[in-house]
Structure 1
Amino acid sequence: MSVKDKLAELGIELPPVVPPAAAYVPALRTGNYVYVSGQLPFVDGKLPVTGKVGAEVTTEDAAKHARQCAINIMAAVDDLVGLESVVRVVKLVGFVASAEGYTGQPVVINGASELLGEVFGEAGKHARSAVGVYQLPLDTPVEVEAIFEVQ
């Protein structure tokens, strides 16, 4: 099954690539790797929620937003090289705006990791970091960046 077929089966339509908010590009290819800049959980050009996880945002909701970050990551890869050229998801780095004492960052970033596993199968298994931070751009609760190996 193609990646696009798998996305359709999951009911996922890739959105347009979110335009950069500063001096960077959404994704960059060098050799056989695509580096995707940190993606926020934009839906239709808007952040659906703001705040810190463990305070204004629940772990479960933050995981859904991390999943949206993964969808936005796939949109950037598809726009640059096409998702069918992906050989493997190499690494994710997830940042979680965390309330004091919050330690569930790995569960939040599972929202992105699990979706990439569903879409890419064995090639979706990746190395990962899940980092708690005090503040993220635009007061988003989560941001995810990624590295892909491509043909």
Structure 2
Amino acid sequence: MMSYEEKLESKGYKLSTQANKRIFEAGVRTGNLIFVSGNAAKVEGVLKYKGIVGDTVSLEEAQDAAKIAFVNCLATVRNMIGSLDSMIRIVNIKGYVASTSNFTDQPKVMDEVSALAIEVFGEVGKHSRVSLGASSLPEGTPVEVEIIVEV
């Protein structure tokens, strides 16, 4: 049986091993929950997309950005506990989408993340979720994702 990390890799996603370089923690564990800080769509430390969804970033690009940001959240979990296979459940996913005032498809951006979570993790990937619009996000990322997982 493939590990969760192998399943992600089979879909083209590789978990980063980069260390947190922020003033705050990449993730905080309290009891059996890990709260992962917001992640952008960075690949090897570089933003894959920059801009505003509905203006310079398409829905499809935003969906890809959201999946990359989600995988970066999962990398934090793996780096904290050693293996994604130790996860009991993805409890919550929050997605922030830098979008124009008339863009209302934030849920469609995050639907791709939800689908990936369930496809890779099955029952463990079933989660609650919120999708929010924002006028801008750090460094110009079009999407930021944070998660809470039970371990």
Q: Offset of 1:125 from its aligned partner?
A: 0.9
Rounded to whole Å, the distance in 2 between the matches of 1:147 and 1:117 is 15
Per the TM alignment, residue 84 of structure 1 is displaced from its structure 2 partner at its CA by 1.3
* Displacement after TM superposition at 1:4 (Å): 2.6
- 1:53-64 maps to which residues of 2 (within 5 A)? 53-64=53-64
Q: Distance in 2 between matches of 1:80 and 1:128?
A: 22
- Kindly indicate whether the alpha-carbon contact (under 8 Å) linking 1:53 and 1:96 is maintained by their aligned counterparts in 2: yes
Distance 1:140 1:85, change over 3 A: same
The AA in structure 2 aligned to 1:28 is: V
In the other structure, the counterpart of 2:87 is: 86
The answer (yes or no) to whether the contact 2:49–2:61 under 8 Å persists in 1 is no
Q: Which residue of 1 is the match for residue 28 of structure 2?
A: 28
Contact 1:65 1:111 in 2 (8 A): no
The whole-number CA distance in structure 2 between the counterparts of 1:88 and 1:145 is 15
Q: Which residue of 1 aligns with 2:41?
A: 41
Shift of 1:14: 1.0
List gaps (5 residues or longer) in structure 1: none
Matches within 5 A, 1:2-151: 2-17=3-18, 19-21=20-22, 23-81=23-81, 82-150=83-151
The CA distance in 2 between the partners of 1:11 and 1:133, in whole Å, is 28
Question: Could you report, residue by residue, the CA deviation over 1:105-128 in whole angstroms, capped at 9, with x for unpaired residues?
Answer: 001112222211121111101000
AA aligned opposite 2:91: V
The answer (yes or no) to whether the contact 2:36–2:147 under 8 Å persists in 1 is yes
The count of corresponding residues between Structure 1 and Structure 2 is 149
Q: Aligned partners of 1:16 and 1:113: how far apart in 2?
A: 23
CA positional deviation for 1:134: 0.7
1:75, CA displacement in angstroms?
Answer: 0.5
Give, in angstroms, the shift of residue 17 of structure 1.
3.7
1:48–1:9 distance in 2 versus 1, CA, 3 Å: closer
Query: How large is the Cα RMSD of the aligned pairs?
Result: 1.3
Separation (CA, whole Å) in 1 of partners of 2:67 and 2:111: 8
Q: TM-score, normalised by structure 1?
A: 0.93
- Cα deviation for residue 18 of structure 1 reads 5.7
Identity of aligned residues (%): 41
**How far apart are residue 16 of structure 1 and its match?**
2.0
CA contact (8 A) 2:4 2:120 kept: yes
